[in-house]
Each structure stands twice: as C-alpha cells, then as structure tokens.
Amino acid sequence: MFETIAKVVSVKDLRGKIIATALLLVVFRLGKFIPLPGIDYNVVTKFIDDMSASGDASALVFSMADMFSGGAMGSIFSLGIMPYITASIIFQLLVAIVPSLARISREGASGRKRINQYTRVSTVLLCIVQAVMACSILLSQSGKYGGVNFVVPGITSYEFYFFGVIGLTVGTVFLMWLGEQIDTFGIGNGISLLIMAGIISSMPSAISTTIISTFGKQGGMTTFKVSLLIVLFVLMTLAVVLITLGTRRVSVQASKAMRGRKVYMNQRQFLPLRVNQAGVIPIIFAQAIMALPAFFFGFIDGKFGTQSSIFFAPGAFWYTVFYVLLIVFFCYFYTAITFNPNEMADNLKQSGMYLPGIRPGQRTAEHLEKIMTRIALAGSVFLAFIAIVPQFISRALNVDYTIAGMLGGTGLLIVVGVALDVVQRVESYLLMRNYEGFGIGDGRIHGRNG
C-alpha cells in the first residue's frame, strides 16, 4: 500500500492533480464560514445543532437543507450545488424531448458547450427563486423557536432579501465554477466530489453524537445499538462496493481475429455491462428534485402558518414514495442516455464480432437493450433500498436521523461511488505509467465478475 502511494506521488502530473483537487476542496470547506449578509451565523449554527430531535415540519426542512449544503446553513453556500444539479436534470430531459436541443447536443464539443451555457444561465435563475424562498423561510422562522433571531437586528426585510439573494446566488455560482475547476485541473468529477466532501464533513458530528449519547449523561444509545450500527455500516459498505463494481458479462464471439501474422477463429470474449450503470446520479437527481417541495411548502408554511411541509419531510410516507419513484425513473433515464444499444450493436458488427445465437444488427441491439433493462431494474431497486434504509434504521432503532444517514444509505452510496471513481482514475494513470494499481494480484480493480 505504501509502495503504491509512493508511486502515486512520484508521477508529476498525477501528483499535481491530487494537490489541485485537495486545495479546491479546502476552498469549498472554507466557504462554510463566510456568513450570509444579514444573518447571525453563530445563532443559525447553534439552532441547527439543537433542533435535530425536533419533530416540527419547519425544523425538518431546515435540517434537510443543512444536509444538502454539507452543514453550511447560514453561509453563502447554504443552497449548495443542488440548483446546478436541478438545472442539469431539466436540460437532460429537454435534450431527450426537444428536437432543437437534441440537434445541438449532437454537434459535438460545440453543442455540449452551448448546452452547458444554457445550464449555467438556468442555474442562476433557479438560485434566485430558491434564494427568495430561503430568505422568506429565515424571516418567518426568526424568533419563532424560543426567541431565536436569525436576522441581525436593525436590518430591514428589503435589505435582507436583496443581500441574501445576491449572496446565495453568488455562492452557488462559485461552487459551480469550483466544480468545473476540479474537472479541468483536478481528478474526478468536480460536482460529485463537492457533494462527497459535504457528506464527509458531517460524519464527525454524527460519530461524536453517537459517542456522547452512548457514554455521556444522556444515555440515549446503548452498546448494543452502537454495535448493530457498526455491523450494518460494514455490511452496507460491502453491498455498495459489490453493486458498484458488479457487471453482467455478455458473451461475445469474434468470427476472425488477426494477431501479427496469425489468424484466430471463433475467439470468445465478454462484454461487461454494469449493473449500476447510472452510478450515484439517480440519488443526487432525486435529492435535488425532492429539495424543491421542501423549500416550496416551507415557504407556504411561513406565509400562511400551515403545516403542509410535513407531508414532504424526510421519513414521511409521500416523501418516501416520490423519492423511490424518482430514483427508479432517473436510473432508467440516465441508463437510456448513457447506454446506446444500436451504437454498440453497430460497433460489434463492424469489429467482426457477434453474440452467439443472435443475428448481428437490430436483433443484437434488441437483445442488449433487453439485458440492460433487466439489470437496470436490479440496480434501481438496490438504489431505492439504499436510499430509504436510514429512515427505517432511525425508526426501528430509535436513533437520530443524522446518525442513521451518515452510517449508511445515500451518504454512504455517494461517498463509496465517488471514492471508487477517483481510485479508478488514479489507477488508470498508474497503469499508463506501467505501475500496478490498488488491487490485489494483478493490481487492477475489476468488476464483481471481471
């Protein structure tokens, strides 16, 4: 292991990318301490820490928003990167159904650049809408819980809206730029790394909460519960790794292959199809969509004094139903975008390869689509199960949702998925330099059946 780390450090380009990624993530975490203009940051932070046990709908909205922002509520990064992800979802849907955008997307690099520009503009518009809702919630809830005032005394509501909207919008746009810089100068997907960094930053708090509630004066956790959580954490981690690296190997046969001067006939190979083709994208997309009802109904509750947001609070029945349906939908949708059976069938035909018992061309494409549909069902069911596990753990063991969420479920899936992606990219650099990777034996990370 230490030898592999030494090899990573010895590669100049790879070392520079890792350092750049680490520095940009440090900048992301430092932004948490830049308070939103007009907000008493210390009061908001203390309020977020003290209200985890509250069952109030508005408190759950605050807690949910704090989870999405990586614990940055009250700062200019309060909205996090979710507006950009929401805009990306919208344009991926529009590209699939609007012919003009579909033509632009097929123009190559220039088309993708135009789509990215449209996404950035839409992100700014979504930021303004969500920032207005967030400021309205902060104003309506200020002084409601034990006289806690989030807004600095002396500032008018108009001033708070003006500076608050500008601050939140600038914060999200900066995060969007930061993710693009990681894509360009760092290693790994920038947006995914920002989300992972936010999740990891809240894990120490969950662990300390577990320790205090177990050995402190409160005594809310027992040794049995802690041991059970640790066992569940290990099992869930193993399951996530297996499903992330799992593949369905499709037998492919080459009619004729030439190696040097020799001709080999009927060479059998395997085409690996990932079980979790969409990765962590369906979870991230579903979270981004489910954040909108929380903000909207929180805004309605603040204006009219209703309790409508409780129906879309984490753990509520309708929240869970729509959350699962969105995960399944985005799993199939993203798989359909990234996996093109017709193109794959054409590539196999041009390479002189075929599926045993299947005619090349359209029949091969239909067979590949049928296989991918089945394994996408298995992948979507697993993703939905992982996403809702923390809710059941929280209720069954009567533990805080923060503890259950950080020790398993969505946060674990994102962290493991992004970490494996980074490790595989680092491994590719090492293999290009004729070094071994991180695996055992031949040094490469394979799929479950690879």
Read off the pLDDT of residues 317-358 as tens digits, 9 standing for 90 and up: 788 888 889 888 888 888 887 788 888 888 888 777 778 888
pLDDT for the residue numbered 258: 56
R_g of the chain, CA atoms, integer Å: 24
Structure confidence at residue 174 (pLDDT): 93
Give the model's confidence band at 406: pLDDT under 50 very low, under 70 low, under 90 confident, else very high.
Answer: low
The answer to whether the beta carbons of residues 390 and 405 sit under 8 Å apart is yes
> What pLDDT is recorded for position 178?
92
- Which segments of 32-73 are extended strands (E)? none
**What's the CA gap between 295 and 393, in Å, rounded?**
25
Q: What is the pLDDT of residues 411-424, one digit of tens each?
A: 777 788 888 888 88
**What DSSP line would sit under 182-195, residue for residue?**
HHHHSSS-HHHHHH
Structure tokens at 182: 């990681």
pTM for this one? 0.74
The token pair at 439 is 């695996």
**DSSP secondary structure string for all residues of 273-319:** EETTTTTTHHHHHHHHHHHHHHHHHHHHHHHH---GGGGGSTT-HHH
Query: Bigger pLDDT: 54 or 182?
Result: 182
> Which whole number is the average pLDDT over 178-182?
91
Average pLDDT, the chain: 77
Neighbours of 220 (CB within 10 A): 15
Structure tokens that stand for 76 in this block: 């200019």
Indicate whether 386 pLDDT > 80: yes
- Return the structure tokens found at 252: 């492919």
Residue 56 predicted with pLDDT over 50: no
* pLDDT of residue 217 exceeding 70: no
Q: Is the pLDDT of residue 138 over 60?
A: yes
Neighbouring C-beta atoms of residue 177, cutoff 10 Å: 11
- Whether the Cβ atoms of residue 364 and residue 348 lie closer than 8 Å to each other: yes
- pLDDT: which is higher, 425 or 59: 425
Which residues have CB under 8 Å from 125's CB, separation 6+? none
Q: What's the whole-number mean pLDDT along residues 204-224?
A: 67
Point out which residues pair with 259 in neighbouring strands: 262
- What is the pLDDT, as a whole number, of residue 367? 87
Mean pLDDT of 377-400: 81
Segment among 56-60, 130-134, 203-207, 296-300 with least mean pLDDT = 56-60
By the 10 Å C-beta count (0-12 exposed, 13-18 middle, 19+ buried), 374 is classed as exposed
d(CA 448, CA 213): 38
Sign for the pseudo-dihedral over CA of 423, 425, 427, 430: negative
State how far the Cα of 257 lies from the Cα of 353, in Å rounded to an integer.
9
Q: How many CB atoms lie within 10 A of CB 354?
A: 19
The answer to whether 380 touches 332, Cβ cutoff 8 Å, is: yes
> For residue range 144-172, what is the model confidence (pLDDT) as tens digits?
655 667 777 777 888 888 988 999 999 99
- Could you tell me the domains of the chain? 2-432 (1.10.3370.10)
> Residue 120: is its pLDDT beyond 50?
yes
Instruction: Count CB-CB contacts under 10 A for residue 222.
Output: 12
Cα–Cα distances in Å, from 332 out to 80, 186, 282, 338?
A: 26, 30, 9, 10
Give the model's pLDDT for residue 255. 67
H helix or E strand, kind and range, residue 88 = helix 82-97
E-strand ranges in 260-400 read 262-274, 353-354
